[in-house]
Amino acid sequence: MKILTHSRLLELISYDPETGEFRWKVHKRSVRPGSIAGGSNIAQGYWQIRIDGELYRGHVLAWFYQTGEWPLHEIDHKDNIRSNNRWLNLRPANDKQQARNVRKHRDNTVGYKGVSFDKRRNCYNARIWSKGRNRWLGSFDNPKDAHAVYARASKEYHGEYGRID
């Protein structure tokens, strides 16, 4: 595997940090200068670009393009939209930080992240996962109050990576 250099990347494609779009600068087999580089991976939702026979994810290339350095860890999409490679939407993140920036589970019947309904006690419970354990935040009469407590805890425990929706 040939490692892509920053100068080679700049030679082949342009990146617009405002839109997150990549465009080819060169003419190759089926590629014309100015055409969109890459495409969406339907299964995973990431933008991908094949350069010199290797497949790269768009958000990683955007980071490399802008900084000149390969990311040390992962690159997180702040809005959780994997194809949104706008520069302001990208940030470096380790595994724990990425795990904090997830939306509520699909099977969440209450409608609020960090909140569940306790049928036995007829109340809404708020919990948050932090520092390797599930932390109890309290029981509430309605889901909005429970979620408000979760949102405050998320900001405290998870900082900028805490997602509340």
Do 68 and 126 lie in one domain? The reply is no
Kindly report the CATH number assigned to the domain that includes residue 140.
3.30.730.10
In a domain, 98, yes or no: no
Ordered per-residue pLDDT tens for the chain, 165 residues: 568 999 999 999 999 999 999 999 998 888 899 999 999 987 889 999 999 999 999 999 999 999 999 999 899 999 989 999 999 999 999 888 877 777 777 778 888 988 999 999 999 999 988 877 889 999 999 999 999 998 898 888 888 877 777
- Residue 29 shares a structural domain with residue 88: yes
Mention every residue, 6+ apart, whose C-beta is less than 8 A from residue 101: 76, 78, 80, 93, 161, 162, 163
Q: What domain range is 149 assigned to?
A: 103-161
* DSSP of 53-78: TEEEEHHHHHHHHHHSS--SSEEEET
- Residue 65 falls inside a structural domain: yes
Answer yes or no: do 61 and 134 share one domain.
Answer: no
Among 93, 123, 141, the domain boundary falls at: 93
pLDDT score at 30: 82
